[in-house]
Amino acid sequence: MAASSSPSNATPSERFLAAALGFSAGVMLYISLVELLPAGVDGLEDAGVSGAEVWGPVAFFAGVLLIAVIDRFVPEEINPHEEPSATGGARMRKVGVMTALAIAIHNFPEGFATFFVALQDASLALPLAVAIAIHNVPEGIAVAVPLREATGKKWAAAGWAALSGLAEPAGAVIGYLFLRPFLGPASLGITFAVIAGIMVFVSLDKLLPTAIATGRHHAAVYGVIGGMAVMAVSLVLLT
């Protein structure tokens, strides 16, 4: 039987989702390893920090550890990157709400990261924001689908999905208010290296596994290469 083509039931195709998530991962990996981590080391050197070439990678892996710890606090059964089970209205409602909370926790450091990248170079922040937006598509679906199944209210489900996404601007504002008194070459250098670690972890632990899980492995890989290529070209043109 052919799948329904009703707009209300439409979801991204597996090929498109795999390629889009791969593209997002490629952008984030390239920015992190080619721009943010080197900028972090340079910032530490400019601040006169001894052993900047050591402290930059230390801050990078501290970022990896930070997001890994956050990820461990999200129970597997409500992980936003797992497909929710469609059994029982009450369970579906709980899954949707808890998934929204889980995604909000994940999104907070992403908003923080985008903001601080923009402080360094707005030309880097735009593609990073687009990459994060692409990676938020399946997360929004993970929130909205179980809530819609449980309540039958698509706009309420969409509202919960949107609310979970507001954690990103909240992360930017709170991160800035917390770090504003400490901003300087050294603190920015450490921050950029930490952000690079966060972005690499999100790409390798979330985006790529989710893309490959669609069953469109090659589309995911082509998306990664495409994201890196687009980021490389854009950096050449904008610098």
Digit-coded pLDDT (tens) for 168-207: 788 788 877 877 777 777 887 888 888 889 888 888 887 7
Identify the pLDDT of residue 231. Answer: 79
pLDDT per position as a tens digit, 6-60: 444 445 578 887 888 888 888 888 888 988 899 889 889 988 888 999 999 999 9
* 73-104: pLDDT as tens digits: 765 554 544 444 444 555 556 555 655 665 66
The DSSP line for the chain is: -PPP--GGG----HHHHHHHHHHHHHHHHHIIIIIIHHHHHHHHHHTT-TTHHHHHHHHHHHHHHHHHHHHHTS-GGG-TTSPPP---HHHHHHHHHHHHHHHHHHHHHHHHHHHHHHHH-HHHHHHHHHHHHHHHHHHHHHHHHHHHHHH--HHHHHHHHHHHHTHHHHHHHHHHHHHGGG-SHHHHHHHHHHHHHHHHHHIIIIIHHHHHHTT-HHHHHHHHHHHHHHHHHHHHHH-
